[in-house]
Amino acid sequence: MTTIHPPADRVAPPAAPSAAKPPKSSIPDDMAMIRAVAELTRELVTPSARIYWTDFLASAAVGYAGVAAAILAPSTGWMLAAAFVAVLALYRAGSFIHELTHIRKNALPGFRLAWNMLIGVPLLIPSFMYEGIHSLHHNRTKYGTVEDPEYLPLALMKPWTVPLFVVAAAFAPLALLFRYGVLTPLSLAIPPLRRVVMERYSGLIINPVFRRKPPEGEFRRQWAWQEGGAWAWATLLIAAGTFGWVPLRALAIFGGIAAATVVLNQIRTLVAHLWENDGEVLTVTGQFLDSVNVPPPGLLPELWAPVGLRYHALHHLLPGVPYHALPEAHRRLQATLPADSQYHKANYRSLPKLVMNLVAGSAKGAPA
């Protein structure tokens, strides 16, 4: 893969949010940037089936091989090494859920089914929990508002919100086990509970006031078989632990690996945006500048922001471009747009600095 070294003056130095900084809602659209984005990337919208299938299947295979190696490891050191590989690989495989929400229907026949069978159901994150949710995050009038299920103004909240945001993710596997193993059958027998489960506990969301609408049409059928599969798998896991069909150590290792992938994704989510919007509707440029690119030359973002997630700001400009085309789109825009373009202001260098800026910003911006 070609490594791109952007000019230093085209990568915005991370800066802590300031009380004097104008609100994101006051940022007008940079029409020159928007036109360039449309003109320079028109032929990049077709997903490559070969890339998608090879990347996904290889990631899933390495991930589950790592789980098996961790369970069978002769020592703690080997177990931790294998678990580390499993976390990174399953995290990458799981990140394809993001692509499922954007690729056109029938563009990759069988891919959604394969993803749910290999990752969604086994990790209790079937794609219905993201499809129909993530699209609202890309709605121009909903992004960053109370109607956005994937947004919280973290930079404007109490400082303890950021670490709590990460720590809570570690308990996600247990919560999902309860959601599917217990709440699914109970809610089917108790209609009022079913409504609560569908509204509040059927989406990968971070906005606690968001309420999901019931599914309709073909999506309702997709939801039904995916939830049924997750219920069957969760029930099997609970029974395996209860009756000793599988050693508790093996279940604990698998659960620990699953928890680590969620924590890693939660940390990545922390730096996907600056989280500075106060709830007002933003322009396209405002949404872009509230989002983050971490482009090359750094290599580590390929591990903690895989499957194109290192170009999250660019993705908000080009939600229909497949992940494997985003590096080329970024290279074209970086080389073409002038140094004073808004495009370069969304490019940052590293995860640690972004996290520190978010924590520092929340410390300054939180109401007394």
For residue 312, pLDDT beyond 60: yes
Share of the chain above pLDDT 90, in %: 80
Q: Identify residue 58 by its one-letter amino acid code.
A: A
**222 close to 126: Cβ distance less than 8 angstroms:** no
Q: Is residue 280 over pLDDT 80?
A: yes
Contact between 341 and 33 (Cβ < 8 Å): yes
Collapsed DSSP state (helix, strand, coil) of residue 358: helix
Q: What is the mean pLDDT of the chain?
A: 90
Q: What is the pTM of this model?
A: 0.90
Question: What local confidence, expressed as pLDDT, does residue 289 receive?
Answer: 94
- C-alpha–C-alpha distance, residues 333 and 339, integer Å: 11
User: Tokens 């091989």 label which residue?
Assistant: 65
Extract the tokens encoding 206: 């971070």
pLDDT band at 210 (very low <50, low <70, confident <90, very high): very high
Residue 291: strand pairing partners: 273
Q: What is the pLDDT of residue 123?
A: 97
CA 96 – CA 150 distance, rounded (Å): 17
| Residue 134 to residue 132: CA distance in whole angstroms | 6
Q: Each residue of 7-59: pLDDT tens digit?
A: 333 344 444 444 456 777 788 999 999 999 999 999 999 999 999 999 999 99
Least confident piece of the model among 211-215, 242-246, 273-277, 359-363: 359-363
Q: Which of 131, 137, 119 is closest to 59 using CA atoms?
A: 119
The stretch 284-296 carries a mean pLDDT of 94
CB atoms within 10 A of CB 289: 23
Instruction: Yes or no: say if 161 and 265 are a contact pair by the CB < 8 Å rule.
Output: no
Model pLDDT, residue 4: 35
In the chain the first and final C-alpha atoms are separated, in Å, by 49
Domain assignments of the chain as residue spans, ordered by start: 26-46+279-365
Distances 5 to 8, 187, 259, 274 between C-alpha atoms, Å: 9, 53, 35, 24
Res 209 pLDDT > 60: yes
Residue 187 clears pLDDT 50, i.e. is over it: yes
Q: Are 90 and 60 in contact (CB under 8 A)?
A: yes
pLDDT in tens, 120-164: 999 999 999 999 999 999 999 999 999 999 999 988 888 888 889
Which of 271, 270, 280, 269 lies closest to 24 in space, CA to CA? 280
The candidate with the shortest Cα–Cα distance to 174, out of 124, 224, 245, is: 124
CA neighbours closer than 13 Å in the CB half-sphere of residue 136: 23
User: How many other C-beta atoms can be found within 10 angstroms of the C-beta atom of residue 54?
Assistant: 11
Q: Give the pair of three-digit tokens for residue 35.
A: 């036109």
Cα 34 to Cα 316: distance, rounded to the nearest angstrom: 11
Give the number of C-alpha atoms closer than 13 A to the C-alpha of residue 214, restricted to the C-beta side.
5
Measure the CA–CA gap between 251 and 258, rounded to whole angstroms: 10
Give the pLDDT score at 121: 98
pLDDT at 2: 34
Q: Which residue bears the tokens 């290792």?
A: 253
pLDDT in tens, 70-112: 999 999 999 999 999 999 999 999 999 999 999 988 899 999 9
Q: How far apart are CA 152 and CA 183, in angstroms?
A: 26
pLDDT at 325 over 90: yes
DSSP letters spanning 297-334:
T-STHHHHSTTTTTBHHHHHH-TTS-GGGHHHHHHHHH
Asked if residue 365 has pLDDT above 80, the reply is no
Residues with Cβ within 8 Å of 24's Cβ and at least 6 positions away in sequence, in order, are 144, 276, 277, 278, 280, 282, 286, 289, 290
